[in-house]
Amino acid sequence: KAGVTQTPRYLIKTRGQQVTLSCSPISGHRSVSWYQQTPGQGLQFLFEYFSETQRNKGNFPGRFSGRQFSNSRSEMNVSTLELGDSALYLCASSLSGVGTDTQYFGPGTRLTVL
Amino acid sequence: AQSVAQPEDQVNVAEGNPLTVKCTYSVSGNPYLFWYVQYPNRGLQFLLKYITGDNLVKGSYGFEAEFNKSQTSFHLKKPSALVSDSALYFCAVRPLTSGTYKYIFGTGTRLKVLA
């Protein structure tokens, strides 16, 4: 079974631009979560989607948004990029996100904002 | 507030020696507990989880973790460390409170196994 895939793997943007990251979950997984990883803050939860609905959201500004499609693929968008948005963005999928589910992570998208 | 603590930023151990990476948590109720490992420029890989039952959980690559409810700890262990075990290790908890669908991660512990 293929794992979680994320595209692109690397991205360089400038301040003020916007960016869209994509995540394809493991086949059959319907829950997709997004995390931001930085050296200073560690892993910070962004949001979680299930059946095209956002179920939970972390403490990030409204510039960070996401969506999930009917095939469970998810996208994350960051508008008006700031230098501090430079990070590794990780996507994780699980069957349902509840119960004894385990999250499985993708390789991440490394975003650099100049 | 719910939290996970990994008190050591880095753990150094000689190859062949046993290793322990510590994790304590503060959440209400009985959470599910997880360990993940991250190699350079990679995502997190699932190692093991504790749901219920035996306090000693066995996982991938020879790792195991011991759950201690009274100390709210979930330490990761391996009897004999390998140089290839050098990586960043994350402890995570998933609280079971209603409406919570997120994991809380510790800050990570860098394990360095010396040849």
Q: Kindly tell me if the per-residue pLDDT of B99 is higher than 90.
A: no
Determine what percent of chain A is predicted with pLDDT higher than 90: 82
Chain B residues in contact with A33 (beta carbon < 8 A)? 101-103
Q: Report CB contact under 8 Å: A105, B44.
A: yes
Domains (range + CATH), chain B: 3-114 (2.60.40.10)
Q: Annotate B62-89 with b (16+ C-beta within 10 A) or e (fewer).
A: ebbbbbeeeebbbbbebeebeeebbbbb
Q: What is the pLDDT of residues A29-63, one digit of tens each?
A: 999 999 999 987 888 999 999 999 999 888 999 99
CA distance B67 to B4: 14
Count interface pairs A-B at CB distance under 8 A: 54
- B61 part of contact set with chain A, CB < 8 Å: no
Note which residues in 35-54 of chain B have CB less than 8 A from chain A.
36, 41-46, 49, 51
- B90 part of contact set with chain A, CB < 8 Å: yes
Question: pLDDT band for position B1 (50/70/90)?
Answer: confident
- Residue A98, pLDDT score: 73
Q: Report CB contact under 8 Å: A33, B108.
A: no
